[in-house]
């Protein structure tokens, strides 16, 4: 049987697809990139905003319309928060809530009569890494969140915190590295809360990964800024830990942060950024910002803009606030009018572009080890432009011969020029003697 997996939303959803892909293959099924040829399609849905829920419904309908013969399984936050609605959508054969995600493969096979002979399995260990290419993989280390930020529906959908054991995570990473995966990204709903149910913590997990695996690159998914300690900062002394963190700020106004029930004031956030950049001035800090949170005054907005610009992020992920039923914020007074939210969003996007280009420029002339992706674009009849990422998560483009390949190789490159969405680079002389290992 051919299985196709799709996702909307966060990196955690993508990590779960990786896990399901392996489980389907171990059960004797083939994972395919072609939805139109699949016998079973699994959708991992999202509900972080009303628009995300709408897109989830649209995707479910679209998938069924394009391949009505395929069995359709829906999971994720939309399916959990709106299970009855999801079950009624045309073509949906099975809805699996977040709390039952660990049994999704087994339930799909049993309840939809999808058993097949193990002889149909793919080659042992052949993992379908369809989400980020063959060079990197997401590794889910925990689920759930103990906090209740007033705008967040995901913590309601995901439930209580549950961490994987250190050994399980280490074993998965070692298995991935044997498949020639050179970069892993640790993910979770509340990544910084890893180990709260195991008498452990994220720092201990990362130290175990460093000592018990040889994967060259380790990245971290989104982290709440209030949970970083001195031992955590020291991890970045190891070159295998990539100097990039996504720390959600949400607002640069302390009064708005209080209404959001965030646990990090702007002064504390600034101190965290300063500490990270003290050891590495080119440490890349990216963040999330919500525009137009209920009651956001013009003064609060100006405070927010000023603080965001002062921090100087490498990239902004901007969300225009929309109320989510089931969250405390949905009942807050003084909603911001849509035209004002649109105006503020446009202003913030301009600032975000300005900061991103400045960070690009700060890195010009520097030499970095770049892990090259598997995709490219033609420059002319004889040349192609390949893309990769620096340790501090800058997208790099380099022109090479059309008959060359750099996929999943790490080489030194010097950053030479800023483009809109990537930085041009030249190989160092070291490349001529072959790819370097870091």
Q: Which residues pair with 424 in a beta bridge?
A: 397, 417
Single out the residue of 361, 407, 365 nearest to residue 384, CA to CA: 407
Q: Which residue has the tokens 């250190």?
A: 166
CB 100 within 8 A of CB 180: no
Single out the residue of 168, 316, 288, 142 nearest to residue 225, CA to CA: 288
The structure's pTM equals: 0.78
Q: Which residue has the tokens 């990362």?
A: 206
Provide the percentage of residues in the chain whose pLDDT is more than 70: 92
> Is residue 119 scored above 60 in pLDDT?
no
Residue 120 CB neighbour total at 10 angstroms: 11
> Is residue 141 scored above 90 in pLDDT?
yes
pLDDT digits over 47-91, tens only?
A: 888 888 889 999 999 998 899 888 999 999 999 999 989 988 888
> Is residue 135 scored above 90 in pLDDT?
no
Q: Residue 37: helix, strand or coil by DSSP?
A: helix
Q: Between helices 104-111 and 11-26, what is the axis angle to 10°? A: 50
Q: What helix, strand, coil percent values describe the chain, rounded to 5?
A: 40, 25, 35
CB 97 within 8 A of CB 80: yes
Give the model's confidence band at 129: pLDDT under 50 very low, under 70 low, under 90 confident, else very high.
Answer: very low
- Could you tell me the domains of the chain? 2-120 (3.40.50.12160), 133-242 (3.30.750.210), 367-433 (2.40.50)
What is the model's pLDDT at position 438? 37
Distance between CA atoms of residues 294 and 256, nearest Å: 9
Give the model's confidence band at 114: pLDDT under 50 very low, under 70 low, under 90 confident, else very high.
Answer: low
Distance between CA atoms of residues 366 and 428, nearest Å: 11
**Distances from the Cα of 332 to the Cαs of 45, 151, 252, 303, 312, in angstroms?**
27, 10, 19, 21, 30
> Is residue 240 scored above 90 in pLDDT?
yes
pLDDT digits over 307-339, tens only?
A: 999 999 999 999 999 888 889 999 999 999 999
**Distances from the Cα of 243 to the Cαs of 136, 246, 273, 390, 408, in angstroms?**
16, 10, 12, 9, 20
DSSP one-letter string for 127-147: ----SS-TTEEEEEEEE--S-
What is the model's pLDDT at position 126? 33
Q: Residue 162: helix, strand or coil by DSSP?
A: strand
Q: Give burial (CB, 10 Å; 0-12/13-18/19+) of 89.
A: middle
Single out the residue of 114, 64, 113, 105 nearest to residue 88, CA to CA: 64
Total residues belonging to the chain: 438
Distance between CA atoms of residues 242 and 393, nearest Å: 8
pLDDT digits over 351-382, tens only?
A: 999 999 999 999 999 999 999 988 788 888 89
Single out the residue of 37, 355, 350, 393 nearest to residue 217, CA to CA: 393
Residue 227 CB-half CA count within 13 A:
19
Q: Residue 342 contacts by C-beta under 8 Å, 6 or more apart in sequence?
A: 320
């Amino acid at each position: 049987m051919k299985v196709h997996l799709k996702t909307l939303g966060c990196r955690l959803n993508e990590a779960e697809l990786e896990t399901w892909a392996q489980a389907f293959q171990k059960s004797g099924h083939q994972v395919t990139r072609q939805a139109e040829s699949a016998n079973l399609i699994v959708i991992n849905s999202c509900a972080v905003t009303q628009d995300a829920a709408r897109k989830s419904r649209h995707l479910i309908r679209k998938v069924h319309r394009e391949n009505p013969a395929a069995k359709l399984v829906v999971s994720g936050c939309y399916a959990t928060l709106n299970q009855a609605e999801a079950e009624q959508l045309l073509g949906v054969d099975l809805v699996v809530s977040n709390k039952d995600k660990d049994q999704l493969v087994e339930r799909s096979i049993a309840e939809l009569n999808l058993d097949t002979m193990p002889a149909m399995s793919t080659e042992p260990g052949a993992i379908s890494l369809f989400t980020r290419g063959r060079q990197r993989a997401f590794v889910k280390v925990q689920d759930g969140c103990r906090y209740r930020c007033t705008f967040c529906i995901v913590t309601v959908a995901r439930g209580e915190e549950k961490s994987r054991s250190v050994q399980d995570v280490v074993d998965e990473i070692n298995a991935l590295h044997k498949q020639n995966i050179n970069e892993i990204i640790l993910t979770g709903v509340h990544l910084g809360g890893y180990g709260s149910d195991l008498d452990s913590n994220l720092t201990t997990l990362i130290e175990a990964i460093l000592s018990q695996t040889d994967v060259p690159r380790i990245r971290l998914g989104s982290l709440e800024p209030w949970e970083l300690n001195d031992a955590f900062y020291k991890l970045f002394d190891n070159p295998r830990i990539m100097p990039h963190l996504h720390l959600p700020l949400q607002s640069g106004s302390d009064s708005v942060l209080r209404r959001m029930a965030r646990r990090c004031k702007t002064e504390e956030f600034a101190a965290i950024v300063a500490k990270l950049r003290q050891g590495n001035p080119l440490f890349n800090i990216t963040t999330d910002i919500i525009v137009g949170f209920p009651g956001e005054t013009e003064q609060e907005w100006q405070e927010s803009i000023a603080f965001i610009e002062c921090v100087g992020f490498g990239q902004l992920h901007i969300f225009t606030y929309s109320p989510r039923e089931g969250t405390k914020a949905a009942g807050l007074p003084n909603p911001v009018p849509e035209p004002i939210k649109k105006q503020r969003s446009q202003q913030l996007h301009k600032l975000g572009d300005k900061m991103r280009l400045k960070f690009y420029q700060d890195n010009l002339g520097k030499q970095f080890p770049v892990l090259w992706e598997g995709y490219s674009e033609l420059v002319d009849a004889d040349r192609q432009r390949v893309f990769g990422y620096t340790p501090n998560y800058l997208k790099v483009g380099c022109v090479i011969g059309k008959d060359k390949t750099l996929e999943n190789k790490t080489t030194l490159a010097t950053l030479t020029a800023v483009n809109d969405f990537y930085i041009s680079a030249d190989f160092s002389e070291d490349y001529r003697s072959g790819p370097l290992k870091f």
